[in-house]
Structure 1
Amino acid sequence: MAVSSSPTDFIVASCKTTRYPPLCVQSLSGYADEIQQSDHQLAQTALKVSLAKANSTSAYVAKMAKVRGIKPREYQAVRDCINTMADSVDRLNQSMNELGHMGQAVGQDFMWHMSNVQTWTSAALTDENTCLDCFAGRQMDGNMKNSIRRGIVDVAQVTSNALALVNRFAERHQSAGPAKNP
């Protein structure tokens, strides 16, 4: 792949490998100066964006547990979602920390760290989808369900994109070597 002419072009080209390219470009283009043309920085920034969205959505879901007049079934679904979103936030934090501390890891060391990042990011996505499952079924119709689902879907899509960019970084690092991909 030829070197892109600008950091924004790099982001656009990289986002084509994700499930939600327009969302990817929209959520990362504001960080173009920080990302430049670094696969490592792109993956790190995508995780940072995912973590920020997971944190804000988690806080929103927690507020929903305190809504007056909430039905017992809704309350339980919200409580379950709060727990799974807390797990998602923890796993995204782990992923960011691991990716941030990889430095110039190479070979098996690189792959071990990368495997941790991929596993935790994938687990965060699973947690987000589990939260969505809490609101499945007809008993959970209404504004609360729709509002929470919108937020969780947004987080899950951003996390899916982050995982794709983490995987892209791993693949490109392996094929190009660490000297070309700091």
Structure 2
Amino acid sequence: MDCVKMLKNKGYGKVEEENQSHYVENQHKHYSKFLIATLSTVALFFLTLLFVLALVRHEPADSATESIRVACNVTRYPNSCFTSLTSFLSNTTTTKAMDPQAILSLSLRVSIHELSNLASSSSLSVDCRELVDDAVSRLNDSLSKVEAAPKGLTEAEMADARTWVSAALTDQQTCLDGLEEIGSSNASEVKTKIERCGEYTSNTLAILANFKILA
């Protein structure tokens, strides 16, 4: 009986040693997998961080163009807005991102430029010329107000600018209505020019109306 017990004890001890060996081996495997997974996660995190930092530090060459595109999306005529502003911008050396106030100033300049060219047209009637001159004057008032506030426009200044731009748009529409009533031979050509100017002024008004959203 004692021999049997001894054999059993020896067998049991051997099994226990094998179990412990398997346990230690499994623990090493689990630890290795955990370590590899942790290191992979950390490495991926740092690679992602480096990638994000690279994107933040890299300023695209056409950032001014993208700023204009975003602003023009709030207008009724986004295509004419984008084309006119980027074309006018090409005369400058600006490539950095533009804030809404700078884009508003640019839009006002485009409208003033186009209307001033229209005012010098010999095919424009006397009444229309007076209306266009008045529109240019109101837009210049708005531009002066915008550019005199480098730290941002107050609510009162925004309201004044909207009033003047809206009045300039009304002047152009009144001129357009008068041309349609007269029906002169030059009416079609002048009408096309006024409609284009009207789009530019409408775009300016839309940027003003959505100024807080864009800021």
What residue number does 1:117 align with? 161
User: 1:150-169 residue pairs with structure 2 within 5 A?
Assistant: 150-169=192-211
TM-score by structure 2 length?
A: 0.65
User: 1:71-150 residue pairs with structure 2 within 5 A?
Assistant: 78-105=125-152, 110-137=154-181, 139-142=182-185, 144-150=186-192
8 Å contact kept, 1:35–1:42:
no
Distance in 1 between residues matched to 2:193 and 2:141, nearest whole Å:
22
Could you say what the CA RMSD is over the residues aligned between the two structures, in angstroms? 2.2
What residue number does 1:18 align with? 75
What's the CA shift string for 1:36-83, capped at 9, x where partnerless? 2311100000000000001001111xx126xxxxxxxxxxxx111011
Distance in 2 between residues matched to 1:97 and 1:141, nearest whole Å:
36
Q: Secondary structure at the match of 2:103?
A: helix
* Percent identity between the two aligned chains: 28
Gapped runs of 5+ residues in structure 1?
Answer: 66-77, 174-182
Which structure carries more relative contact order (alpha carbon 8 Å, separation 6+)? Answer: 1
Which of 1 and 2 has greater Rg? 2
Distance in 2 between residues matched to 1:102 and 1:55, nearest whole Å:
24
Distance in 2 between residues matched to 1:172 and 1:13, nearest whole Å:
8
Q: Cα offset for 1:35?
A: 6.9
Q: Cα offset for 1:166?
A: 1.9
The answer to whether structure 1 residue 56 and structure 2 residue 98 are counterparts is no
What residue number does 1:179 align with? none
8 Å contact kept, 2:101–2:152:
no
Gapped runs of 5+ residues in structure 2?
Answer: 1-55
Distance in 2 between residues matched to 1:172 and 1:48, nearest whole Å:
19
Distance in 2 between residues matched to 1:21 and 1:103, nearest whole Å:
26
Q: Cα offset for 1:169?
A: 2.0
Q: Secondary structure at the match of 2:76?
A: coil
Q: Which amino acid in structure 2 is aligned with residue 50 of structure 1?
A: S
Q: Which amino acid in structure 2 is aligned with residue 98 of structure 1?
A: K
TM-score by structure 1 length?
A: 0.76
